[in-house]
Amino acid sequence: MGRVQKTVVSLLCSAVIAVTAAYSLSYADDIKQLTGMRFALLARGGVLYDDWINEKGIKIDKTHPSYPAAGKQKGWGTWRCKECHGWDYKGKSGAYGAGSHFTGIVGIRDYANQDPTVIVKILKDDTHALGSMLSEEDLDALALFVAFGQIDVDLYIDRKTKKTIGDLSSGGRVYLSTCTKCHGNDGKEINFKDEKKPEYIGTIANENPWETLHKVRWGHPGSSMISLVFLDLKEQLDVLAFCQALPTE
Ligand code: HEC
Ligand code: HEC
C-alpha cells in the first residue's frame, strides 16, 4: 500500500473509534511494524493457530459443533484452527482440498491484512464458538496472526514438488546452531511418531512442508521449541530447505 492510501485508511479508521484507529496503523503495514508486546502476541497467535488446546493445556472430548459430519476427523483435534483452515491457510483450496483432512471449509487468506477487531468478532461467532473458551488476549493473538502472521505459501513452496525456494546452505547455518540442540544435526534426535513408523524433521519437511514452515516460524505448541519469526522470511525458507535435505527415515 502506498503512503497516500495508508493515510486514507488511517483517516477513515480514526473516524470510527480510538481502538480501531490504533490497529489501523499496523494493519496497513507489514509484520515488522509490530513491536514489543504486540509482536509477542503475534508470536503467540501462530502457536495458538497450530494447537491452542495443547498450548493452553485444555481437555476437550467432543468434536467441534461446526466440524462437518462428512469429515474424517473427530474429537479435540477438530478444534484446532489448522484442522479446518489448513497448514497452508487455504482450506479447501489447498492441501486439505482432498484426503483425510478434507472439510470443504474456506481458508483464512481473505483476512490477511484485515482489521484484527473484525477477526476477533469472527472467532466469537456461533460457527467458531470460541468466545467462552479463549481469553481476550488469546483472541487478539489469533487475530494478529490471521492479519499479519499468515503468508501465501504458494509463492515459496511448489505445490507439486513440495520443494521450497529456500537456500540450503544458508539454512544450515541457522539449523545447525539452533534446532540441532533439540533435534540433532540429522533431525533424528526426536521421533514424532513411534518406533515402527518413525517421523523425523526430514520426514515431515518433505511430506508436509507447509506444516514444517509453520513450526519453523512459530514453534511447536506446548513445548519449549523456539520461534524463528524474528528472522526474515527468506531465512525461514532457508531453514525449511535444510530440513528437506535431512534424512526422512
Ligand atoms: C470446526 C471447523 C473450524 C475451526 C476449528 C475453525 N474454523 Fe474458522 N471457519 C470455519 C467455518 C465453517 C467458517 C466460515 C466459512 C464460510 O464463510 O463459509 C470459518 C471462517 C473463518 C474465517 C473467515 C474466513 C472467510 O474468508 O470468510 C477466519 C478468519 C477464521 N475462520 C479463523 C479461524 C481461526 C483463527 C480458528 C482457530 C481459533 C478457526 N477459524 C477455527 C470453521 C472452523
Ligand atoms: C528447545 C528445543 C527445541 C528447539 C530448539 C527446536 N525444537 Fe522442534 N520440537 C521440539 C519439541 C519438544 C517438539 C515436539 C516433539 C513431539 O511432539 O514429540 C518439536 C517439534 C517440531 C516439529 C513438529 C513435528 C510434528 O509433526 O509434530 C518440527 C517440524 C520441528 N520441531 C522443527 C524444528 C526446527 C526446524 C527447529 C529450528 C528452527 C526446531 N524444531 C527447534 C523442540 C525443539
DSSP labels for 153-215? GGGTB-TTT--BS--HHHHHHHHTTTTHHHH-TTS-SS-SS-SSS---HHHHHHH-HHHHHHH
> Ligand 2 center to residue 231 CA distance, Å?
17
CA 233 / ligand 1 centre spacing (Å): 25
Quote the CA–CA distance of 188 and 199 in Å, as a whole number.
Answer: 8
**Ligand 1 and 113: CB distance under 6 A:** no
Residue 35 binned pLDDT confidence (cut-offs 50, 70, 90):
confident
Q: Is 26's pLDDT higher than 80?
A: no
106 phi, psi to nearest 5 deg: -70, 165
**Which residue, judged by its Cα, is nearest atom 30 of ligand 1?**
108
Separation of alpha carbons 226 and 223, rounded Å:
9
What was the pLDDT predicted at 32? Answer: 79
Q: From residue 67, how far is each of 58, 62, 223 by CA, in Å?
A: 19, 11, 27
* pLDDT single digits (tens) 62-93: 999 999 999 999 999 999 999 999 999 999 99
Task: Give dist(CA 241, CA 244) in Å, integer.
Answer: 5
Closest CA to 88 of 98, 96, 80: 96
What is the residue type of 130?
L
The closest-lying atom of ligand 2 relative to the alpha carbon of residue 240 is 35
Return the C-alpha cell found at 10.
488511517
Question: What is the number of the ligand closest to the CA of 178?
Answer: 2
- Residue from 128, 134, 144 to probe ligand 1 pocket by mutation (most atoms less than 8 Å from CB): 128
Of 217 and 31, the one with more pLDDT: 217
Residue 157 — φ and ψ, nearest 5°? -130, 125
Distance 114 CA to ligand 2 centre (A): 30
Distance 85 CA to ligand 1 centre (A): 7
Classify 154-244 by CATH class: mainly alpha
DSSP secondary structure letter of residue 147: I
DSSP annotation of 25 reads: H
Cβ(96) – ligand 1 distance below 6 Å: no
Closest CA relative to residue 42, chosen from 27, 20, 56, 61 = 27
| Ligand 1 nearest atom to the CA of residue 67, by list position | 1
Mean pLDDT of the chain: 91
CA of 170 to the centre of ligand 2 (A): 19
Cα–ligand 1 centroid distance for 89 (angstroms): 10
Q: Which three cell numbers stand for residue 88?
A: 497452508
Please give the distance of CA 6 from its chain centroid, rounded to a whole number. 26
b/e map 53-65, b = 16+ CB within 10 Å: bbbeeeeeeebbe
How many CB atoms are closer than 10 A to CB 42? Answer: 25
Give the SS3 label for residue 132. Answer: coil
d(CA 166, CA 205): 13
Angle (nearest 5°) at CA 76 between 220 and 102: 85
Interval 38-62: pLDDT, tens? 999 999 999 999 999 999 999 999 9
Ligand index nearest the alpha carbon of residue 177: 2
What spacing in Å lies between the alpha carbon of 84 and ligand 1's midpoint? 7
Which tens digits make up the pLDDT trace of 135-180? 999 999 999 999 999 999 999 999 999 999 999 999 999 999 999 9
**Smallest-distance ligand from the CA of 46:** 1
Q: Are 50 and 82 in contact (CB under 8 A)?
A: yes
Residue 128, ligand 1, Cβ within 6 A: yes
